[in-house]
């Protein structure tokens, strides 16, 4: 399959009279790590929701792995969904399931493997994200914030998706856990060869992880390029975003 992982063309979206996206186009090739950034309220989460088919676009088309979401059949959509994994900002773990059941959930849904093998694979994915076996039988409410994020990403990758979405993966983590998480993302990307799309505000992550950054503003993608060239981009919104003290501090620390 050589089609792009995500192909968004001329996407428009409005809530009542409020246009969030006006003619937004973005093509993300397979096997890349892409970050979506932009000021607060510029529509990053809304874009993610539309890509995930949780929110319908007002007009325009979104193709995931070559499949047009608006026109595809139920069967085709199911296949696409089996190939995508999502990690929500708050984790969105099922509170009535144990960690192991949470991670095994997509496998039970999308494969017909035996329960034993499913559980073993789920455990393997848990250790892949750096969790020990002891947490497997705990409930989400008994976990710390960092552990919830790890379980959430284990659940997102358990069925070996081609495409994985992360909403603010490192938000709310302490700097060391955040750095660990960045390493984990890089490791997973390298070893499992997935296309990774993340929304993030974490400047350290932006420096370390993504291949390219899509900068949202004015309802469209203002720039889609690696960080080094994005920093030179003359657009005032981009300059403003990167001129904050925090960014400069992160840069000097590098």
Q: In sequence order, which residues have a C-beta less than 8 Å from that of residue 148 and are 6 or more positions away?
A: 90, 91, 93, 140
- 44 near ligand ADP, judged by CB under 6 A: yes
Q: Which residue's CB atom is positioned nearest to Mg ion?
A: 45
- 90 near another protein, judged by CB under 8 A: no
- 107 near another protein, judged by CB under 8 A: yes
Phi/psi for 147 (5° steps) reads -65, -40
- 234 near ligand ADP, judged by CB under 6 A: no
Is 225 buried (19+), middle (13-18) or exposed (0-12) by CB count in 10 A?
A: middle
- 191 near another protein, judged by CB under 8 A: yes
Within positions 5 to 34, which residues make up the interface with ligand ADP, using CB under 6 A? 15, 20
DSSP 42: S
Within positions 31 to 70, which residues make up the interface with Mg ion, using CB under 5 A? 45
List the structure tokens of 178: 């955040």
Give the separation between CA 215 and CA 220, rounded to whole angstroms: 8
Minimum distance between the CB of residue 192 and Mg ion, rounded to whole angstroms? 26
Within positions 129 to 158, which residues make up the interface with ligand ADP, using CB under 6 A? none
Minimum distance between the CB of residue 82 and another protein, rounded to whole angstroms? 6
| 1, 2, 41, 132: residue in contact with ligand ADP (rule CB under 6 A) | 41
Residue for token digits 């993608």? 221
- 144 near another protein, judged by CB under 8 A: no
69: left (phi over 0), alpha (psi -120 to 50) or beta: alpha
Is the CB of residue 87 less than 8 Å from the CB of residue 165? yes
Q: Looking at beta carbons only, is 42 or 136 nearer to another protein?
A: 136
Q: Which residues bind ligand ADP (CB under 6 A)?
A: 15, 20, 38, 40-46
Q: Which residues bind another protein (CB under 8 A)?
A: 82, 94-96, 107, 110-114, 116-117, 119-121, 123-128, 133, 136-137, 139-142, 159-160, 191-193
């Amino acid at each position: 399959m050589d089609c792009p992982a995500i192909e968004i063309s001329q996407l428009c979206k409005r809530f009542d009279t409020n246009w969030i996206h006006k003619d937004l186009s973005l093509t993300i090739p397979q096997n890349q790590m892409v970050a979506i950034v932009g000021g607060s309220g510029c529509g990053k989460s809304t874009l993610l929701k539309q890509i995930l088919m949780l929110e319908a676009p007002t007009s325009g088309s979104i193709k995931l792995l070559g499949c047009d979401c608006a026109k595809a059949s139920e069967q085709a959509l199911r296949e696409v969904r089996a190939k995508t994994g999502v990690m929500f900002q708050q984790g969105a773990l099922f509170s009535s399931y144990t960690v192991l059941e949470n991670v095994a959930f997509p496998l039970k849904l999308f494969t017909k493997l035996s329960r034993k093998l499913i559980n073993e694979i789920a455990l393997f994915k848990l250790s892949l994200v750096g969790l020990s076996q002891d947490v497997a039988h705990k409930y989400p409410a008994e976990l710390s914030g960092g552990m919830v994020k790890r379980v959430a990403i284990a659940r997102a990758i358990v069925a070996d998706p081609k495409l994985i979405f992360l909403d603010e993966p490192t938000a709310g983590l302490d700097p060391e856990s955040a750095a660990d998480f960045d390493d984990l993302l890089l490791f997973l990307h390298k070893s499992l060869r997935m296309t990774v799309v993340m929304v993030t505000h974490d400047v350290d992550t932006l420096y370390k992880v993504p291949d390219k950054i899509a900068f949202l503003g004015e309802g469209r993608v203002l720039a889609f390029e690696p960080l080094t060239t994005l920093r030179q981009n003359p657009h005032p919104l981009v300059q403003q975003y990167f001129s904050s003290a925090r960014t400069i501090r992160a840069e000097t620390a590098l």
